[in-house]
Amino acid sequence: MSRWPDDDVILYDGVCVFCSRWVRFVANRDVERRFRFTAIQSAYGTRLAQAFGIDPKDPDTNAVLHGGVAWLKSDAALTVLSLLPRWGWVRVFFAVPKPLRDAVYSLVARNRYRIFGKYDKCFVPDADIRARVME
């Protein structure tokens, strides 16, 4: 777990259809507007990815910066969900051993383009989400 000065920033693959849907899912439920977003393909996102050992050209995880710590893979997804209103119940999945959670996460991540598709260029969010994007 690496430290970073920004907080509650979600790093995602901007050309991944599934990842872009994840951003919309979170943004629509984040009524406090706590989270901000950055695509791994942006200058800021690339710097974050490199700082946390994620290959920006072939990302195998999203990440969330929370509490000054970068959470990866299943920890990232569960951390984000657990901070959304009415989603705190997902904390029970932290009881599942991390290697098992991460194996499932990695299986989906490896096959995300084939299953969900890929954009030709980085996903452009609507105006509401765009105001929360860090580039």
Distance CA 109, CA 92 (A): 22
What does the pLDDT average to over 65-72?
90
Question: What would the mean pLDDT of 80-109 be, rounded to a whole number?
Answer: 96
Cα–Cα distance, 25 to 128 (Å, whole number): 13
Average pLDDT of the residues in 12-24? 92
pTM greater than 0.85 = yes
Cα-Cα-Cα-Cα dihedral sign, residues 91, 105, 21, 10: positive
Specify the higher pLDDT residue, 67 or 96.
96
Integer Cα distance of 35 and 66 in angstroms: 9
Residue found by looking up tokens 């657990």 in the block: 82
Q: List the end-to-end C-alpha distance of the chain, in Å, as a whole number.
A: 23
pLDDT at 1: 46
- Mean pLDDT computed over every residue of the chain: 90
Which residue matches tokens 């119940």?
89
Question: Mean per-residue pLDDT for 118-124?
Answer: 80
Distance of CA 7 to the CA centre of its chain: 13
Q: Strand pairing partners for 65? A: 9, 70
Looking at residue 128, its pLDDT comes to: 82
C-alpha to C-alpha distance for 8 and 83, rounded to whole angstroms: 10
pLDDT given for residue 3 in this prediction: 55
